[in-house]
Amino acid sequence: MFELRTTRAKIVVQVLITLLVLPFAFPLLVMVKGSLAGQGWRNYSAVLAVPGFARFFLNSAIIAAAVTALVYLVTTLAAYGFARLHIRGREIYFWLLMACLTLPEVVLLTPLFTTATAFGLYNTYLAVILPLAALQVPFGVLLTRSFVRGLPDEIFEAARVDGAGAVRGFIHLVSR
């Protein structure tokens, strides 16, 4: 991008970057300070001594990994379809999906609970993973569709000339 040749310029840029980072570091410092209030470091040992803490942590890791993977897969596939495939009515479907961004999550709690109970998913990972992923997909599609549209048409044309279909074009050009 640009090269800093003098030591003075490097110092000025480092000080500027440090000043720009401080507002973002401040909430973290306040959080750590708050966690040490009361008994200090014994707060951490008390939390780690809670029975089942390791299981709570494992549950969070499993849910986070599954939601991330599911959102990535669904979002990239949908964005590729909305950006590159010639599907009848794709703009209508896209804007219907974007309309989901306007729904407050609180409105969906009762239907999600009823659905999870009806399908026997109550008290399972899927009852948490699927709704969390579904709520993230519309925004992810909006961002990823813009990315896929930004890829040059020539790349996709070259892939078609080389014999790649829509699936291979997606795998080799978008998902990597």
Confidence at residue 4, expressed as pLDDT on a 0 to 100 scale: 79
Residue 89's domain comprises 53-174
Instruction: For residue 22, count CB atoms less than 10 angstroms from its CB and return exposed for 0-12, middle for 13-18, buried for 19 or more.
Output: exposed
> Token pair for residue 131?
């709704």
Average pLDDT, the chain: 92
The candidate with the shortest Cα–Cα distance to 145, out of 77, 69, 73, is 77
pLDDT tens by residue, 67-82? 999 999 999 999 999 9
Query: Residue 1's pLDDT is what?
Result: 58
pLDDT at 176 over 90: no
Residue 2 placed within a domain = no
Tell me the per-residue pLDDT of 84-103, one tens digit each, with 9 for 90 and over: 988 999 999 999 999 988 98
Same domain, 20 and 104: no
pTM, full prediction: 0.77
Q: Does residue 1 sit within a domain?
A: no
* CATH for 156: 1.10.3720.10
Q: What is the model's pLDDT at position 123?
A: 92
pLDDT tens digits along 124-171:
999 999 999 999 999 999 999 999 999 999 999 999 999 989 899 889
Exposed, middle or buried, 139 (CB in 10 Å: 0-12/13-18/19+)? middle
106 and 149 housed in the same domain = yes
Residue 46 confidence (pLDDT) above 80: yes
Assigned domain for 23 exists: yes
